[in-house]
Chains A and B, each alone.
Chain A
Amino acid sequence: QQQVKQSPQSLIVQKGGISIINCAYENTAFDYFPWYQQFPGKGPALLIAIRPDVSEKKEGRFTISFNKSAKQFSLHIMDSQPGDSATYFCAARMDSSYKLIFGSGTRLLVRP
């Protein structure tokens, strides 16, 4: 049973476009929602994170939108660049522990 569902599996966007990746969860015990970026051959790196008491968080070209009632959150990459081409993972942390559960990942390709 996948606790965090991520879509789409892959995404192709033109340079300058907006990339949108969506995640959904069921467990209301999750209390922290980070996004990770992974380049080939590297470990995932924290990109941006949000807590459920906030509906939106923006850091540069990256924005998380959070809908607590719908149990959904999404990553928006504005003005997408070829250097953003990577695999993106959403995740959720259990509030009773430090367990971080990941989505299945989205492979983003930004074409020049």
Chain B
Amino acid sequence: NAGVTQTPKFQVLKTGQSMTLQCAQDMNHEYMSWYRQDPGMGLRLIHYSVGAGITDQGEVPNGYNVSRSTTEDFPLRLLSAAPSQTSVYFCASGRGGVGYTFGSGTRLTVV
């Protein structure tokens, strides 16, 4: 039982490059979400999903896309990376709206 798995753990991108952060969970959770963590800003919700085929925007969605084709996977896509997207990204999943489980994070640097 792996919980929430995020890959990669570290990534350096050049401005304008695209990439996908992967998130997978094996707990059959209907809810999945992406957060970014910046110093002094806490965790800010980027996008979330309440089930396969359903996604919605969070607090800071600009510059990010998501899709949810399966219950297990919830990838986050950066179409054209900007230095302002330098952050630590966390994926979380949960069932019944409580007790969300977080992954170990992806540290992204955009130069």
**A-to-B contact residues, CB < 8 Å:** 6, 9, 32, 34, 36, 41-46, 49, 89, 91, 93, 97-105
With the chains together, A49 CA to B99 CA distance in Å?
8
Q: Are the C-beta atoms of B105 and A93 separated by less than 8 Å?
A: no
Residue contacts A-B, CB under 8 angstroms, 27 given: A6-B42, A34-B100, A41-B104, A43-B4, A43-B105, A44-B90, A44-B102, A46-B101, A49-B98, A49-B99, A89-B42, A89-B43, A93-B97, A97-B56, A98-B33, A98-B48, A98-B94, A99-B33, A100-B92, A101-B45, A102-B42, A102-B45, A103-B42, A104-B40, A104-B41, A105-B40, A105-B42
Number of A-B contacts (CB under 8 A): 64
- The interface size bin for chain B is 20 to 34
